[in-house]
Amino acid sequence: SHYPTPGVPRSAVLFHAGNTDDETHGCILLGSAIGRIRGETAVIHSQEAMSALRRVIGKQSAVLTIWDE
């Protein structure tokens, strides 16, 4: 499976364009709204959101730490 194992710490999680759970590959999909695609809940306007993020951070790398306690 290409999905992460629950409870196992991860690194190198990517932000990328995509719409549905099948497209996450364990990463974070960007979008500006929630909608439905082929009957499935989806993130929409993903390409536009990805372009906006690139305008803000450019080619810089960044660190995002998510804690779930």
* pTM of the entire predicted model: 0.70
Question: What pLDDT, on the 0 to 100 scale, is given for residue 47?
Answer: 95
Question: What pLDDT, on the 0 to 100 scale, is given for residue 4?
Answer: 67
Where b means 16+ CB within 10 Å and e means fewer, 3-37 reads eeeeeeeeeeeebebbbeeeebeebebbbeeeeee
Q: What angle do CA 49, 47, 32 make, to 5 degrees?
A: 35
Q: Are 30 and 19 in contact (CB under 8 A)?
A: no
**pLDDT tens digit sequence for 3-60:** 667 777 777 778 889 999 888 887 889 999 999 999 999 999 999 999 999 898 888 8
CA–CA distance, 38 with 53 (Å, rounded to integer): 26
